[in-house]
Structure 1
């Protein structure tokens, strides 16, 4: 089969649209459509169902898409290995992390990385969804739980606990709760129900929120909760590393905290010799050590 046609097919299957695939490939919609028809003639099967909302893969199309996904993954891996065989550290590294950690801890420290490796670029994918590293959805992950796949290399970074924080202005106006019972008389800003969060934090907070501590407002990520706490909106449960060395925040009800959650640096075994991965890993370890967070 012609690789150009397969490449165009893969883009269409991935986008679910001739128009969007054409934009990514810098081809007209008609040119993309012609290539798809030619590929269907070549394989002797219909690859897409045409639908008002876009294109849906047929059974034969699903089989071919699985093959082109694997081909794309292998090409990405080969490209990474070729680049990493060179002495210089350059090119793109795709890093996935949670919104809170990526936004508030990692991003502000990236200038230190680029000062040393100016030709390296980082594509940050900030999401609460666990991305598939063996399928090369990302090169590196910083995860709030240990991965289960056998073909991943993992390195323990540090432990996180969830604690209650409020702004100094809030405490001056409303006082600081000391116990779980005290929280009932305060305005609580909670995590949105059903939205992913640290598992140990969810277990810690569930019995508190189930009692007399109904959240007056909810936010669907830790960055929003951090902003709510800083602004004096109320008392927020936050990962302790986010409030570390933040003078505007006070740890209230200090005896209340979740079980620790271990944070891991994770990457596929096929990238174990990658210079880009190695320098990024060492950068993260150095920055955590500077902050006094790095686990032994």
Structure 2
């Protein structure tokens, strides 16, 4: 192969790939943490280098041209190869220093992990912890994080997972709401109470009904897909919510919603990393540290 003839710029290819996947230059720039004009220049330079038009503007933003569609799979393969290269290199890093990316849900990141992360930093002061709070699952295969704290078992063969424990959640409410409701919360009065929905309202109601609670869609008076918003609305007195015991039992002004019998909610905590990263001393140490601390939390 004549390597002197290969002048392909991976940064331009990456700009094209992320723009295609995000659907706009602005979204791609945010994903890459760079200025939109810079990203646009990289995409334009790639088009000039290849001699093809990759995108066309429509009323909905950018759409791939036929040439762009043809080239997208090739560039996606390059991106996956670059990710594997990065994973392989990280997996061989043996120093207990550098940045470690940990992703968890908003509730776990805000209320389970702060003390653990601080203890970790005292143990390994050379580490910089990038704590990524998001309720959607980060893609460990694409290096969006090194380690994930999840409430489900991953099924990708590239990932290694360890179940830590099961966490119990129950119905909690603020004393402020109970005062406004004006009567005891029982299974008989529950159909008149307000609930704060989390995730899909239909799935949320189905879970409440399955637990033995006499509610329906009309009880959901506040809807949100954010765990933290759900929690803050509950504290503000907007209604009843499902909250982990480790949070509901230790917050002043928050009490169990009622003494009636119902099936509590349980969800697992899994610790997950990529199998390539599992050979890194840094990642292995943090993984084992988190497993031990989460198990006792």
Cα 1:60/1:267, change in 2 over 3 Å: farther
The Cα shift of 1:113 comes to 1.9
Equivalent of 1:68 in 75, 83, 86: 75
Cα 1:274/1:64, change in 2 over 3 Å: farther
* Post-superposition CA distance 1:219-250 (Å, at most 9, x none): 33332222233333433222323324334322
Cα 1:93/1:53, change in 2 over 3 Å: farther
* In 1, Cα distance between equivalents of 2:40 and 2:222: 50
* Post-superposition CA distance 1:30-62 (Å, at most 9, x none): 853652233323xxx443334466543334434
* In 1, Cα distance between equivalents of 2:287 and 2:115: 16
Contact 1:98 1:143 in 2 (8 A): yes
* In 2, Cα distance between equivalents of 1:19 and 1:128: 19
Q: Give the alignment's Cα RMSD to 1 decimal.
A: 3.7
In structure 1, the residue matched to 2:118 is 111
Q: Does 1:269 align with 2:279?
A: no
My pick for the range that moved more, 78-87 or 219-228, is: 78-87
Cα 1:175/1:236, change in 2 over 3 Å: farther
Cα 1:110/1:238, change in 2 over 3 Å: same
In structure 1, the residue matched to 2:3 is none
* In 2, Cα distance between equivalents of 1:200 and 1:19: 35
In structure 1, the residue matched to 2:13 is 9
Q: Does 1:35 align with 2:75?
A: no
Cα 1:159/1:28, change in 2 over 3 Å: closer
* In 1, Cα distance between equivalents of 2:54 and 2:61: 13
* In 1, Cα distance between equivalents of 2:53 and 2:131: 37
* In 2, Cα distance between equivalents of 1:192 and 1:80: 35
Using structure 1 for the length normalisation, give the TM-score: 0.76
In structure 1, the residue matched to 2:215 is 209
Q: Secondary structure at the match of 2:34?
A: helix
Cα 1:115/1:253, change in 2 over 3 Å: same
In structure 2, the residue matched to 1:286 is 292
* In 1, Cα distance between equivalents of 2:170 and 2:76: 42
Cα 1:30/1:227, change in 2 over 3 Å: closer
Using structure 2 for the length normalisation, give the TM-score: 0.76
- In structure 1, runs of 5+ residues without a counterpart are 292-296
* In 2, Cα distance between equivalents of 1:18 and 1:259: 40
Q: Does 1:129 align with 2:147?
A: no
Q: Does 1:82 align with 2:92?
A: no
* In 2, Cα distance between equivalents of 1:30 and 1:265: 38
